[in-house]
């Protein structure tokens, strides 16, 4: 009689567990939907937000296998735009820079300098090559540098290099001066013993990586991003609807976790009752 009662309870536990298992098996995780998005974009499409133009430079889809062998699809994208930003460049003391179509050496003097000088770097090889009466390279005699020059009689004589080559051009700039460099107007922002800092305002390419169902800010506007397929990116400003759907997904996940708890407890209860029914009685 005792075992019959246990059998009834075991059957009841198994029935409850089976019902929970059936609900788990038939439950479907809801997909987030984004109705009437502000933008539906493909790769290389441009769009404008708050007066700024943006470009979708990439929309990608990859497949990855998780630990249990299921294939997960990951989608992402990248957006680029240009902003006018303050940019800078530094020239180290005694370094050679390209300026005004030629090479110049940066020269800074003094302990607390406020200016610097660009000294023209002469192309000595080109100057010697243009002179039919001069050798193709300088020579050194007793620690001094000379140019071998032939006179009208064909006799060679040594001309000190400092006398032969023209004096290099020099240009001096102070803090606050403007100069044309690399196709733009730059300002001397600071001069120290070790370097010169130039600043200017110019376009800079900015980029933003976009993930599936991520919230991004473009200008002053927030969007929720979605990739409905491997080649499309949608942007929606309806964050309230998005958050409501997230709350519903969270609620269903909690419901699903509760069903799993019921299933586990039911199976364990049935096993324990069945085992208890076969424990020999002392009486």
Task: Please compute Rg for the chain using Cα positions.
Answer: 40
Question: What is the number of alpha carbons within 13 Å of residue 158 lying toward its C-beta?
Answer: 9
**What would the pLDDT profile of 180-227 be if each residue is shown by its tens digit?**
998 899 999 999 999 999 999 999 999 999 998 889 999 999 998 889
Average pLDDT over every residue of 233-239: 87
The predicted structure's pLDDT at residue 104: 96
For the ranges 6-10, 123-127, 227-231, 252-256, the maximum mean pLDDT occurs at 227-231
More confident residue, 232 or 135: 232
Rounded Cα distance between 24 and 257, Å, is 9
For the chain, give percent helix, strand, coil, nearest 5. Answer: 25, 45, 30
Average pLDDT over every residue of 120-131: 85
Q: Over 70: is that where the pLDDT of 53 sits? A: yes
Query: pTM value?
Result: 0.57
The predicted structure's pLDDT at residue 1: 42
Average pLDDT over every residue of 71-88: 91
Whole-angstrom CA distances from 83 to 47, 177, 201, 219 are 15, 25, 10, 11
Q: Over 70: is that where the pLDDT of 272 sits? A: no
The predicted structure's pLDDT at residue 175: 97
Rounded Cα distance between 32 and 241, Å, is 10
Cβ-Cβ contacts under 8 Å for 240 (sequence gap 6 or more): none
Question: What is the number of alpha carbons within 13 Å of residue 120 lying toward its C-beta?
Answer: 13
């Amino acid at each position: 009689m005792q075992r019959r009662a246990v059998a009834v309870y075991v059957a009841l536990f198994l029935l409850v567990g089976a019902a929970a298992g059936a609900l788990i098996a038939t439950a479907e995780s809801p997909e987030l939907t984004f109705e009437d998005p502000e933008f539906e974009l493909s790769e290389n499409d441009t769009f404008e937000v708050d007066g700024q133009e943006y470009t979708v430079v990439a929309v990608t889809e990859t497949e990855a296998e998780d630990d249990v062998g299921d294939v997960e699809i990951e989608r992402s994208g990248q957006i680029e735009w240009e902003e006018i930003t303050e940019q800078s460049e530094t020239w180290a003391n005694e370094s050679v820079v390209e300026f005004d179509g030629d090479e110049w050496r940066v020269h800074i003097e003094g302990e607390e300098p406020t200016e610097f000088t660009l000294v023209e770097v002469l192309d000595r090889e080109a100057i010697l090559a243009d002179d039919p009466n001069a050798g193709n390279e300088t020579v050194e005699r007793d620690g001094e540098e000379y140019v071998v020059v032939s006179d009208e009689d064909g006799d060679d004589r040594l001309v000190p290099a400092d006398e032969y080559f023209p004096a290099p051009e020099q240009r001096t700039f102070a803090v606050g001066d403007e100069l044309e460099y690399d196709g733009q107007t730059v300002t001397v922002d600071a001069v120290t013993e070790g370097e010169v800092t130039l600043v200017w305002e110019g376009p800079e390419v900015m980029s933003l990586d976009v993930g599936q169902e991520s919230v991004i800010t473009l200008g002053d506007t927030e969007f929720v991003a979605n990739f409905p397929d491997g080649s499309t990116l949608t942007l929606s400003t309806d964050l309230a609807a998005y958050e409501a759907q997230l709350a519903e997904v969270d609620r269903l996940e909690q419901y699903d976790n509760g069903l799993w708890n019921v299933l586990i407890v039911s199976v364990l209860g049935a096993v324990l009752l069945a085992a208890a029914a076969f424990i020999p009685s002392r009486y």
